[in-house]
Structure 1
Amino acid sequence: MKPDLIIMDMDDTLMTSENVVSEATQQYLIDIQEAGYQIALASGRPIEGMVPVAQSLKMDQFNSYIMSYNGAKTIDLSTNKVVASELIQKEAFDEIIDYCRQHGLFALTYKEGYIIYEGEHEYMSIESEITGLQMKKVDDLKAYIQEPVPKAMGVDYEAHIAKLSNVLNGHFNEDIACTTSKPFFLEFMSKGVSKGKAIQDLADRLNLDVNRMIAFGDSANDKEMFDVVGTPIAMGNAIDLLKKRATMITKSHDEDGIPFALKQYIK
Structure 2
Amino acid sequence: MNYQAIAFFDLDGTLLDQNSRITPEVADAMLALKENHVLPVIATGRTEIEILDIRQAAHIDSNIVMNGGYIRVDGEEIYSDLIEKPQIERLYHAVLDHGDQLSYYNEGAIWCTGHSEDLIGAYTFIHSKIPPIDPLGFQNKPVNMLLVLGRENRDFYEAEFPEFDFYRNTPYSMDTVKKGVSKGAAIKILRETTGLSHLPTFGFGDGPNDKALLQACDTKIAMGNAGDELKEMADFVTKKNTEGGIIHALKHFQLI
Q: Please tell me the TM-score bracket, short chain as reference.
A: 0.7 to 0.9
8 Å Cα contact 1:233-1:247 kept in structure 2: yes
CA distance in 2, matches of 1:189, 1:112: 14
Deviations 1:31-62 (A, max 9, x none): 221232221111000111123212222223xx
8 Å Cα contact 1:210-1:229 kept in structure 2: no
> 1:3 offset after TM fit, Å?
6.2
Alpha carbons of 1:166 and 1:255: their partners in 2 closer, same or farther (altered >3 Å)? farther
Query: Hey, what does 1:217 align to over in structure 2?
Result: 205
Do residues 106 (structure 1) and 107 (structure 2) align? no
Overall identity of the aligned pairs, in %: 26
Where does 1:247-258 land on structure 2 (aligned, <5 Å)?
Answer: 247-258=235-246
Question: Could you say what secondary structure the match of 1:154 adopts?
Answer: strand
**2:87 maps to which of 84, 92, 95:** 92
Amino acid at match of 1:66: N
Do residues 45 (structure 1) and 46 (structure 2) align? yes
Alpha carbons of 1:5 and 1:192: their partners in 2 closer, same or farther (altered >3 Å)? same
Amino acid at match of 2:88: F
Question: Could you say what secondary structure the match of 1:135 adopts?
Answer: coil
Query: Hey, what does 2:72 align to over in structure 1?
Result: 75
**2:186 maps to which of 188, 195, 198:** 198
CA distance in 2, matches of 1:240, 1:3: 31
CA distance in 1, matches of 2:21, 2:52: 13
CA distance in 2, matches of 1:209, 1:114: 31
TM-score, normalization by structure 1: 0.84
For the aligned residue pairs, the C-alpha RMSD in angstroms reads: 2.5
Number of aligned residues: 251
Unaligned runs of 5+ residues in structure 1 are none
Alpha carbons of 1:77 and 1:207: their partners in 2 closer, same or farther (altered >3 Å)? closer
8 Å Cα contact 2:106-2:144 kept in structure 1: no
8 Å Cα contact 1:196-1:226 kept in structure 2: yes
Do residues 121 (structure 1) and 116 (structure 2) align? yes
Deviations 1:143-183 (A, max 9, x none): 332143011111223xx2xx6159728x9323x22222224
CA distance in 2, matches of 1:178, 1:211: 31
Deviations 1:66-100 (A, max 9, x none): 0110010001343xx32101111101111222232
**1:164 maps to which of 146, 149, 154:** 154
Query: Hey, what does 2:172 align to over in structure 1?
Result: 184
Query: Hey, what does 2:132 align to over in structure 1?
Result: 136
Alpha carbons of 1:166 and 1:101: their partners in 2 closer, same or farther (altered >3 Å)? closer
